[in-house]
């Protein structure tokens, strides 16, 4: 069980000579005797195909939704938005539990200035409470830039939710300066004291239990 899977973003070779680190990690775990693998919100679920055994990815959305409902209560316009198309699955899962629409930010070039801007592909965020959702916050740059753009487009309030809060350097300060009013993470890595934390312990425990039962059943049949 790895609540946070290290090297998950190194899921392909970006430069010549680089390893595909997450694949090497899974091969090493299997070689060490691991028969199954459970993690929480891995960067790309397709990476789990490299583990040569049962592998389960735990969705933290139920835990996030429980924390977010009181914050969003009474708001008429709520959107859950991913910072890019790759994270739209996370936005969809959380939005379904909150009963809210979801979208993702697309990069659009301003035809006058030539500047690249981020904006929701489908929805109008004017007057809305927006929940930005992603798997990892490291430097905070992506969340901060997205929040600034959303405010420029009329968002009333921006909340950030990310499963794994790494918060490198001045990430928290950067996000708060961008106007993010609430920061929520899961308890997969130790979080700063002034960050809200949603527990995924029960979700992870249920996943581990189901995998152990499946492995035990397979071995008894064999």
Please list, in sequence order, all residues whose beta carbon lies within 8 angstroms of the beta carbon of residue 78, skipping any fewer than 6 positions away.
Answer: 72, 98, 100, 128, 129, 130, 131
- CA nearest neighbour of 38 among 219, 207, 163, 200: 207
Q: Is 67 a catalytic residue?
A: no
pLDDT at 222 over 60: no
Domain count, the chain: 2
Residues 135 and 209 in one domain: no
Answer with the residue of higher pLDDT: 217 or 123: 123
Q: Are residues 134 and 171 in the same domain?
A: yes
Query: Given a cut of 90, is residue 113 above it in pLDDT?
Result: no
pLDDT score, position 220? 52
If asked whether residues 148 and 209 sit together in one domain, one would say no
Query: Do 145 and 182 have their domain in common?
Result: yes
CATH code, domain carrying 77: 3.40.50.2020
* Residue 19, pLDDT score: 86
CA dist 49 → 33, 46, 88 (Å): 17, 6, 21
Residue in 107, 121, 177, 209 annotated catalytic? 107
DSSP H/E element including 107: strand 102-109
Residues 146 and 192 in one domain: yes
Could you tell me if 67 and 34 lie in one domain?
A: no
In a domain, 5, yes or no: no
Task: Give the residue among 179, 126, 132, 180 at the shortest CA–CA distance from 154.
Answer: 126
- Assess if residue 9 is contained within a domain: no
pLDDT per residue as tens digits for the range 6-26: 989 888 888 888 889 999 999
Domain for residue 50, yes or no? yes
**45 located within any domain:** yes
Q: 206 and 194 in one domain?
A: no
118 and 214 housed in the same domain: no
Q: Is residue 1 part of a domain?
A: no
Residues 128 and 167 in one domain: yes
The model's confidence at residue 114, banded by pLDDT at 50, 70 and 90, is: confident
Instruction: For residue 124, tell me if it sits in a domain.
Output: yes
At residue 119 the predicted structure's pLDDT band, cuts being 50, 70 and 90, is confident
> Is 80 in the same domain as 161?
yes
**Shared domain check, 98 and 151:** yes
Classify residue 100: in a domain, yes or no.
Answer: yes
State the pLDDT confidence band at 221, using cuts at 50, 70 and 90. low
Mean pLDDT score, 73-97: 96
115 domain residue, yes or no: yes
Please give the residue range of the domain that contains residue 69.
61-198
Q: Could you read off the pLDDT of 182-208 as tens digits, one per residue?
A: 999 999 999 999 999 999 999 999 999
User: Is residue 78 pLDDT above 70, yes or no?
Assistant: yes
Q: Looking at the structure, tell me whether residues 38 and 90 fall in a common domain.
A: no
Where residue 120 falls among pLDDT bands split at 50, 70, 90?
A: confident
Please state, rounded to an integer, the average pLDDT across all residues of the chain: 92
Percent of the chain with pLDDT over 90: 78
């Amino acid at each position: 069980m790895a609540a946070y899977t290290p090297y998950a973003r190194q899921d392909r070779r970006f430069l010549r000579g680089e390893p595909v680190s997450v694949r090497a990690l899974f091969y090493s775990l299997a070689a060490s005797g691991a028969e199954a693998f459970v993690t929480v919100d891995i960067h790309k679920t397709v990476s789990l195909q490299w583990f040569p055994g049962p592998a389960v990815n735990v969705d933290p959305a139920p835990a996030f939704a429980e924390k977010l409902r009181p914050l969003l209560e009474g708001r008429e316009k709520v959107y859950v938005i991913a910072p890019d198309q790759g994270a739209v699955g996370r936005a969809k899962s959380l939005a379904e539990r909150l009963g809210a629409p979801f979208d993702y930010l697309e990069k659009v070039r301003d035809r006058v200035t030539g500047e690249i801007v981020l904006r929701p592909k489908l929805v109008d965020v004017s007057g809305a409470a927006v929940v930005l959702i992603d798997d990892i916050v490291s430097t905070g740059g992506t969340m901060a830039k997205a929040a600034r753009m959303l405010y420029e487009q009329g968002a009333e309030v921006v909340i950030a939710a990310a499963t794994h809060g790494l918060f490198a350097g001045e990430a928290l300060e950067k996000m708060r300066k961008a106007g993010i009013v609430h920061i929520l993470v899961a308890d997969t890595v130790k979080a700063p004291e002034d960050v809200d934390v949603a527990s995924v312990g029960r979700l992870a425990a249920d996943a581990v239990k189901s995998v152990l039962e499946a492995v035990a059943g397979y071995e008894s049949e064999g």
